[in-house]
Amino acid sequence: MPRSRSGPIAPILASSAEGRGASRPAGRPPAPGMVWIPGGSFLMGSDAHYPEEAPAHRVRVEGFWLDRTPVTNAQFLKFVKATGHVTLAERPADPSLYPDALPPRKRR
């Protein structure tokens, strides 16, 4: 199983290599306050909404550990300060990933 930090900043999802499928892996959770979510399959996407959601297709996910409660802003701030993490929203966009987007407007 991947190692995970203990305490309030434990990753929200900690995948388990041992816990394939629906059975819970042996041993304790990787951090306090985590619960086991069994693996399974589900229909991902949609053929009836936005084009980028198509095609709807069946996917299988392995079981994983999930924090019982959401990460608070204070916990996330502590994580950012400890690791220097920069979110995708804070990084400049790469225009090559958005070829149909309008160019930025010039400021007056």
DSSP secondary structure string for all residues of the chain:
------STT--SEEE-SS--TTSPPSS--SSTTEEEE--EEEEES-SSS-GGGPSPEEEEE--EEEESSPPPHHHHHHHHHHH----GGGSPP-GGG-TTSPPPPPP-
pLDDT at 106: 76
Residues of the chain with confidence (pLDDT) below 50: 1-20
CB 24 within 8 A of CB 38: yes
Tokens (6 digits) for 98: 């958005």
pTM of the model: 0.53
Residue ranges per domain, the chain? Answer: 13-91
Phi, psi dihedrals of residue 43, rounded to the nearest 5°? -90, 120
pLDDT of residue 103: 80
Q: What is the pLDDT of residue 6?
A: 41
Pairwise CA distance, residues 19 & 31, whole Å = 16
- For residue 8, what pLDDT is reported? 38
